[in-house]
Structure 1
């Protein structure tokens, strides 16, 4: 299978549900943000040492979830294609909450705002968090139909996960969070 088709040479692309839309269509922008987030998560895992293999597996599961979110965003809600997609339910955000709680239990209490940075993995997690928030804003701008409701909850929880992940990566690397000095 060829990577290039030429189908987008005139500024149009196909949604998963088959419609042709502009490459700057709001749905395309939204799943593009999710794709960017997924790529940043890949950078986090690439920067992780072997001692963090459990986190790598956890993040790869999240990356798979993000592909499912992207597919939802690329599908018109009333199309036949919507029935072929993975359904998001309350379990996925709860799994993120459990991971947040697990990591947070090992961290010192947060007493001040912190600056993004520290260990390379933490810095990438902070970048991922900001991309995640941007993706969330983009999805909200679509005035999400009901089929995106749980995916939106997941993305919201994911940004919290990424914040705690950044702190946890610093903790595992023996690097202190950088407090904001006012």
Structure 2
């Protein structure tokens, strides 16, 4: 199987449906950033222990969803049915809500770090935010599957929650930002707290 096609030698690439656009087009940068994120998730999975098998399986499922997101972003609106549906958003919201309940309540911002896997999850969270910003720009210029934008927005919160879970389960203290006051208020009931992933 030949891996190179030479079609991109002049700075262009083909999208799904064979439309040709420049490689520095915002659409290509956007789904390319999701590919970068997917690769980072693969690194994280490779660094997890057997005791993390459930989380590993979940992250592998996430990799497939990220590939679906990239496929949708590489597809012009109306050219073919989109892959990512609202069920993906509902799934990730459910996971966030479950994972948010397990670690101890915090009152300060978390500094990325702790266990190596948690640190990598924080790195993945920041790549997710960069991808989200690109999606916002792309959506301003062209019509896209807006469910992808919502899913990626939730994804950064999911990765934050997962990083906290890993530190908690590994017995590693989370580094906290010490130069500010309280930013979370545990005395408030859950329904009074801002819904940060909505």
How big is the shift at 1:106? 1.2
Counterpart for residue 67 of structure 2: 67
Query: Does the aligned pair in 1 maintain the 2:15–2:74 contact within 8 Å?
Result: yes
How big is the shift at 1:17? 2.1
Counterpart for residue 94 of structure 1: 90
Counterpart for residue 161 of structure 1: 158
| TM-score between both structures, scaled by the size of structure 2 | 0.86
Counterpart for residue 135 of structure 1: 131
Counterpart for residue 24 of structure 2: 24
SS of the aligned residue for 2:145 comes to: helix
Deviations 1:12-34 (A, max 9, x none): 11111211111111110000010
How big is the shift at 1:93? 1.2
Q: Distance in 1 between matches of 2:68 and 2:164?
A: 27
Larger C-alpha radius of gyration, 1 or 2? 2
Give unmatched runs, 5+ long, in structure 1: none
> Runs ≥4 in structure 1, deviation > 3 angstroms?
144-147
How do residues 31-180 of structure 1 correspond to structure 2 at under 5 angstroms? Answer: 31-79=31-79, 82-83=80-81, 85-86=82-83, 88-143=84-139, 147-180=144-177
Query: Does the aligned pair in 1 maintain the 2:73–2:144 contact within 8 Å?
Result: no
Q: Distance in 2 between matches of 1:141 and 1:118?
A: 33
Counterpart for residue 12 of structure 2: 12
RMSD of Structure 2 on Structure 1 (CA): 1.3
How big is the shift at 1:90? 2.1
How big is the shift at 1:100? 1.4
Q: Distance in 2 between matches of 1:64 and 1:110?
A: 32
* Aligned pairs, number: 178
Give unmatched runs, 5+ long, in structure 2: 180-198
Deviations 1:2-61 (A, max 9, x none): 211111111111111211111111110000010011011111111111100000111111
Identify, as 1 or 2, the structure richer in helix: 1
| TM-score between both structures, scaled by the size of structure 1 | 0.93
